Amino acid sequence: MTDIAKRTGTDAPDSSAPDADEPELEEALFDAPERGSADELLDAGAHSELDAMRHSTAHVMAEAVIELFPGTQLGIGPAIADGFYYDFKLDRPLTPADLAAIEERMAASVAADQPFVRRELPPEEGRAFFAERNQPFKVEILDDLAAKATADGTSMPPTTLYQHGPFEDLCKGPHVASTAKIGPFKLLAISGAYWRGDEKRPALQRIYGTVWQSQEDLDGYLWRRAEAKKRDHRRLGVALDLFSFHDVSPGSAFWHPKGQKIWRTLEAAMRELQDRRGYQEVSTPILVHKKLWEQSGHWANYDDNMFRVEVEDQTFSLKPMNCPESTYIYRSKLRSYRDFPIRYSEYGRLHRNERSGTLSGLTRVRQFIQDDAHVFVRPDQLTDEIGALLGEVREAYSWVGLTPRFAFATKPDKAIGDPALWERAEQLIKEAFAAADISYVVKPKDGTFYAPKIDIYIDDALGREWQMATIQADLVMLPERFDLTYVDEDGKQQRPIAIHRAIYGSLERFIGILVEHFAGAFPLWLAPVQAVVVPIADRHIDAARELAGVLRERGLRVEVDESSNRMQYKIRAAQEQKVPYMVVLGDREIEARTASPRTRAGEQQPAEAWETFADRLAAESRARGVA
């Protein structure tokens, strides 16, 4: 789903010329076929030479699978980011050993240098072709296209097929000239996938593969995958003693002291920003009667995803969001047009009953805390306020060295409320973007059920894209459904606009992403332990404690390694814990009362007086940036 935004990078659609190598890109962005449609199923994702090669590799893989497993029914096999997949209906589950055999067959097909040949059949012949070969999924695609043509009053286009060697498939193309043009490839994984993504339809087996122009590119990609695995926050979270998961509360993290330190540090930074920006922090109940969610519209949309609690014949739920409750504070008194903006922030614990199969480390959890806020403004203030919020996003992300990118998610099909209000909300967001001179991509129908939104993305150190912050302009849910009003200068009742915003998003997820982005080596200001003092021998321990005291006086987080290990071992231990600074203390340093810091990058810094060193670290930590 984030693929579209990724492909277009930070450039606004209207400000960037299409890339010469990828002439179809802009078109692809805006004419992306509707999800699950027959058009989408035929769209092989081949929008560039590389994509064409990837899709061609999918054909070659299908050829191999059919040869090894006669009678296999084919789903679809598009190019995707970094590779391709193909879905198959097979008689038995595939195993990793099967992948090796398939790869071997594929290699033979590539070596045979078989040309890809396109041909067209009249629609009815095309349908018969796949019906005869017992390919019901292909027949279904063609039937859908025919139905669509009838509905549109157009004529059914001819069926296009691509053939290489013994294999011929329904396909819009394009393809590379021949199988010999296929670069180095590797099959990566087997997984399940439903036909057309619908869990009520047949379950197919999907094989993922990757293919590149050169061995170097393939190696680079495989390295990135291996590196991502090494950086996996679930692995590093254990190694760095940050958090853990236990089956007594699936989908919920247990925060260890060091992880909690990172959490508190992030939260403190955000609170400092919010105080500066005039936010007022509030706190609302976690256990709330279901009538609140009926009123907000959440019950209708997310009934199954809320944890229910029955109390004395009444149904309550653990709150999945903070927003509706903030309206009770808003309505606790009469509001004047002079009062705005009213900025309520809240770090409430939220619970969402995510389906068991979707849980994943810190990035997909059942309970979490957002740096949430609801800002109530007059309509004339919305543009300025959104501009200011975009500034908050940029500031907060600069603390961790990330550059935000922006997307505009518009009204979805399940939207509630007056369409005119939606139109207005979307218009106001566009104006805010223009006023802030910020470029963005549009994600049609990707808004929430109550508001269009600005979604903020980042690319991490491995080039992976993550959705982070969100800013939503709500003219419907809080204002209308909860009847929010204020008195204007003429004494008349007016509706405010409610902006929902979260900058880190969920703290759990944000920390998980940071762990992977930094590979556990947090910048000084965030590191749970900022420096380790390493006494060389036991006689240096007292001085080490004294130095630690000097550092702690300045608010720095310091440990002294008093173990009986050798200095080299202590350095290695600190290094593995990714501690930013190690300070070895021996006879020489103690006599001169100096510190010779070693950074975790392995750099030996010049000796300096204890106080100078402490002041330097404290200043670096306060500056809250990436070194």
Beta strands in 322-452 (DSSP E): 342-346, 349-351, 367-377, 405-409, 441-443
| 306 forms part of the interface with RNA (CB under 7 A) | yes
Number of residues that bind RNA (CB under 7 A): 70
**Residue 355 or 552 having the CB closest to RNA:** 355
Tokens of 548: 């630690």
**Residue 328 or 569 having the CB closest to RNA:** 569
Q: How far apart are CA 158 and CA 122, in angstroms?
A: 5
Tokens of 561: 């390694």
| 606 forms part of the interface with RNA (CB under 7 A) | no
| 250 forms part of the interface with RNA (CB under 7 A) | yes
Q: Which residue has the tokens 């890809």?
A: 116
| 387 forms part of the interface with RNA (CB under 7 A) | no
The residues in 37-96 that bind RNA, with binding defined as CB under 7 A, are: 93
Contact at 8 Å (CB) between 284 and 328? yes
Q: Which of 231, 298, 453, 517 is catalytic?
A: 453
Q: Is 171 a catalytic residue?
A: no
**Residue 85 or 263 having the CB closest to RNA:** 85
Beta strands in 46-199 (DSSP E): 73-74, 79-80, 83-89, 117-121, 159-164, 167-170, 185-194
Each residue 436-465 as x (binds RNA by CB under 7 A) or -, in order, gives ------------xx----------------
Q: How far apart are CA 6 and CA 441, in angstroms?
A: 10
| 149 forms part of the interface with RNA (CB under 7 A) | no
Q: Could you give the count of Cα atoms lying within 13 Å of 510 in the half-sphere of its Cβ?
A: 27
- Part in contact with RNA (CB under 7 A); list of ranges 148-156, 262-270, 424-432, 592-600: 592-600
Q: Is 500 a catalytic residue?
A: yes
- Part in contact with RNA (CB under 7 A); list of ranges 113-121, 141-149, 161-169, 568-576: 568-576
Q: How far apart are CA 197 and CA 202, in angstroms?
A: 9
What is the phi-psi region of residue 624: left when phi exceeds 0, alpha when psi lies from -120 to 50, beta otherwise? left
Q: Which of 194, 388, 431, 480 is close enough to bind RNA by CB under 7 A?
A: 194
**Residue 108 or 228 having the CB closest to RNA:** 228
Q: Is 172 a catalytic residue?
A: no
What is the phi-psi region of residue 21: left when phi exceeds 0, alpha when psi lies from -120 to 50, beta otherwise? alpha
**Residue 68 or 607 having the CB closest to RNA:** 607
| 352 forms part of the interface with RNA (CB under 7 A) | yes
- Part in contact with RNA (CB under 7 A); list of ranges 61-69, 136-144, 168-176, 191-199: 191-199
**What does the CA dihedral 151, 157, 162, 163 come to, rounded to 10 degrees?**
110
**Residues in contact with 361: Cβ distance below 8 Å, sequence separation at least 6, in sequence order:** 232, 233, 234, 237, 245, 512
- Part in contact with RNA (CB under 7 A); list of ranges 139-147, 187-195, 395-403, 490-498: 187-195
| 291 forms part of the interface with RNA (CB under 7 A) | no
Each residue 464-503 as x (binds RNA by CB under 7 A) or -, in order, gives ------x---------------------------------
Q: Could you give the count of Cα atoms lying within 13 Å of 346 in the half-sphere of its Cβ?
A: 23
Q: How far is the CB of 303 from RNA (least distance, A)?
A: 9
Beta strands in 441-564 (DSSP E): 441-443, 453-459, 465-474, 486-487, 493-494, 497-506, 531-535, 558-560
| 589 forms part of the interface with RNA (CB under 7 A) | yes
| 321 forms part of the interface with RNA (CB under 7 A) | yes
Q: Is 372 a catalytic residue?
A: yes
Q: Which of 89, 352, 366, 378 is catalytic?
A: 352
Contact at 8 Å (CB) between 477 and 452? no
Q: How far is the CB of 168 from RNA (least distance, A)?
A: 26
| 141 forms part of the interface with RNA (CB under 7 A) | no
**Residues in contact with 564: Cβ distance below 8 Å, sequence separation at least 6, in sequence order:** 538
Total residue count of the chain as it appears in this document = 627
* CA nearest to 403, candidates 413, 421, 390: 390
**Residue 171 or 582 having the CB closest to RNA:** 582
Q: Which of 7, 148, 261, 364 is close enough to bind RNA by CB under 7 A?
A: 364
Q: How far apart are CA 298 and CA 285, in angstroms?
A: 17
Q: How far is the CB of 399 from RNA (least distance, A)?
A: 24
| 567 forms part of the interface with RNA (CB under 7 A) | yes
Q: Is 323 a catalytic residue?
A: yes
Q: Which of 51, 372, 446, 561 is catalytic?
A: 372
Contact positions vs RNA (CB under 7 A):
1, 93, 189-194, 197-199, 203, 205-206, 234-235, 238-239, 245, 247, 250-251, 298, 301-302, 305-306, 320-321, 323, 352-361, 364, 448-449, 470, 536-539, 563-569, 571-572, 575-576, 582, 584, 586-589, 596, 598, 600, 602, 604
Give me the active site residues, please.
323, 352, 370, 372, 374, 453, 500
